[in-house]
Amino acid sequence: MKLTRMTQNQTQSTSQSNKISTYLTLIVFVVMALSIAALFIAVDTYFLGDQIAAGVLAAIGLIAMALSVFLLYQSRQTAAQVKIEIPKVMTTVGCVKNCDSKTSREFQRGDYVFKELDANCEKCGGKQMIVAIFKEVKEKEKTYNV
Amino acid sequence: MYVFFIGFIFYGQRIQMYIMIREVENSLHKLRRIKEEGKKIAIDVIKELGKPAIDPSPRIDRYLEYFTIAPQSMDPAGIVAKLDHILDTRDERLKEEVKLMAPQLENDEVQINNLENTLEAAMALNFIYKVVRHYYIQGKKTLSLYVIMQLQMILPLVMKEAEAYASALKAFAYGQPIGDGAGPLVAGRLMHGYEVRKLPKDCVIASVPLEGRTALVIKAEGPGGNVGKPGDAVEAAIEENEGKIACLIMIDAGLKLEGETVGEVAEGIGAAIGGPGVDAFKIEEKLTKYKIRNYAVIIKQDIGDAVSPMRKEINDSIDKAIEQVKLMIRERTKEGDKVIIVGVGNSIGVGQ
């Protein structure tokens, strides 16, 4: 990613691989197929009259199915979490004469706090200066009432 | 049913270990990707800003493997000077290396400092990855539950630190102020508009009238990524004034405990400065010699906030910290006294 295009890119996440291990997916799908087979056999066995065997097979099938779905969901979640979030950083420009006029814009490379800018204040005509650079964290932190 | 029960009696621990290994493995993959991303950012920045004639990748690979050997401590007398010398040598060596990687920036100290900081963050990510990988492989080789368990237990904290460094990489590359810059930002606000001169090493000082006293405000020189050597700067300022200083106030970013609010300002006593301890030692020595009282103000944040772009809450707490400093000066010194105020931390993105 070129830094010159930073302002456009800074709010995006960096490209990360969302791939899940092929072996894991394969295993999960094999288990899922076996669980479906077990469920079918359970239905067959039930109609043949062996209710206990049918119950055991159905339980095995359902548990295996639940486990494979859970594993797949967990792996997808883990893969999705691998992202470096790049926060949006804002620059606040103020007036050197302290006329209370403040504007905010996205951070540009070369900005630093106390940097005097060439542009003049629209309100009083005085020199402008960068007074703050910060990021805003949007998500609320979890509180634990203790 | 019995087979499962007996199976769990004999293999329960092993199953538990495999689950842990899997967890560690996932985190290790994540660390590897973060580390690679870090290296890529460093290479891109150097290529873009430094315009090197040759590909800087091999040199960056070498840089990331750079190590520092701590001085022998069997006879601890004089170890601070030895450590100081080693740290100076390391700093100079790394800076030279950055200049070789980015020849076009040889005279641009701000960008050289920012690049050095970017590479140091990449170095930290590389180190974290290698240590976690070491214990993971060792645990797998020996199939020791306790090696894996220890690693799995500290992993959330390690991951948090790695994510913080990943975030820091971008901040350093772009020259954005970070949470650790809270101290220099307080000092910058106090000294802005007054005559500033340089102090050893990589620090600046300004004499500022404050609450009827004279405040000698010190910070690391910005806006490049630089923490300076506040120990040397405070020593120099005290000696210049022949020890006639009423008190020293240090403002730094302090690690918050879980449950505390980001940007909370707290007051205390002592040398508020992190790092290997060389600067704290020098400051304490000088303060003890001249019997100068030492007060501290910290702006609370967690490790992630300290190395990533400054949060709004931290920026908003700067005024509170300044008010706290003024209050301390009013209550604990007399009019006409001289006080030293040091804004400790990384001055990246903070001028003066």
Which residues in chain B touch residue A137, judged by CB atoms under 8 angstroms apart? 311-313
Chain B residues near residue A83 by CB distance under 8 angstroms: none
Of A2, A86, A136, the CB nearest to B312: A136
Closest among B137, B163, B192, B127 to B24, alpha carbons compared: B137
The contacts found for B126-130 with CB under 8 angstroms, 24 or more apart, are B126/B35, B126/B38, B126/B39, B126/B64, B126/B65, B128/B31, B128/B35, B128/B158, B128/B161, B128/B162, B128/B165, B129/B28, B129/B31, B129/B32, B129/B34, B129/B35, B129/B162
Under a CB-based contact definition with an 8 Å cutoff, are residues B132 and B148 in contact?
A: no
Estimate to the nearest angstrom the gap between the alpha carbon of B2 and the chain centroid.
56
Is A109's CB within 8 Å of B174's CB? yes
Q: Are B37 and A14 in contact (CB < 8 Å)?
A: yes
Least confident of A86-90, A96-100, B58-62: A96-100
Q: What is the pLDDT of residues A100-110, one digit of tens each?
A: 788 899 999 88
Nearest C-alpha in A relative to B26: A78
Interchain contact, A84 vs B185, CB within 8 Å = no
**Residue A5: what pLDDT?**
40
Residue A14: the pLDDT is: 40
Residue A19: is its pLDDT beyond 60? no
pLDDT of residue A11: 38
pLDDT of residue A78: 58
- Complex ipTM value: 0.86
Residue B131 or A21, more confident: B131
Q: Say how far apart CA B14 and CA B10 lie, in whole Å.
A: 8
Interface probe with B: pick from A56, A113, A144, A146, most Cβ of B within 10 Å: A113
Predicted confidence (pLDDT) at residue A98 exceeds the cutoff of 70: no
- Whether chain B has a CB inside 8 Å of the CB on A23: the answer is no
Q: Which chain B residue lies closest to A89 (C-alpha atoms)?
A: B309
**Which DSSP helix (H) or strand (E) runs through B351?**
none
Give per-residue pLDDT as tens, B40-58: 888 988 888 888 888 888 8
Q: Average pLDDT of A54-81?
A: 80
pLDDT of residue A84: 62
pLDDT(A18) > 60? no
Nearest CB to A113: which of B173, B259, B350?
A: B350
Non-local (6+) Cβ contacts of B285 within 8 A are none
- What is this structure's pTM? 0.81
Could you tell me how many CB contacts below 8 A there are between chain A and chain B? 91
For residue A13, is pLDDT > 60?
no
B-proximal residues of A, 53-92, CB under 8 Å: 78, 81-82, 84-87, 89
Q: What is the pLDDT of residue A15?
A: 40
How far apart are the CA of B230 and the nearest CA of chain A, in angstroms?
21
Spell out which residues of chain B touch residue A1, defining contact as CB-CB under 8 Å. 41, 44
How big is the CA angle at B231 (ends B75 and B78), to the nearest 5 degrees? 15
Which tens digit of pLDDT belongs to each residue from B188-232?
999 998 999 999 888 999 999 999 999 999 999 989 888 999 999
User: Can you tell me the distance from the alpha carbon of A19 to that of A76, in angstroms, rounded to the nearest whole number?
Assistant: 8
Q: Whole-angstrom Cα distance, residue A30 to residue B120?
A: 46
Residue A2: per-residue pLDDT = 40
Structure tokens at B117: 């900081």
Q: Phi, psi at residue B307, to the nearest 5°?
A: -110, 0
The token pair at B77 is 């007398």
Q: Which of B67, B71, B96, B66 is nearest to B86 (CA)?
A: B71
Band of residue A1 on the pLDDT scale cut at 50, 70, 90: very low
Q: Do B175 and A85 touch (CB under 8 A)?
A: no
Give me the sign of the Cα torsion angle B248, B251, B252, B253.
Answer: positive
Q: Distance between CA atoms of B253 and B191, rounded to whole angstroms?
A: 19
- Residue where the block lists tokens 């894996």: B148
- B205 backbone dihedrals φ, ψ, rounded to 5°: -135, 145
Ranges of residues in chain B whose predicted pLDDT is under 50: none
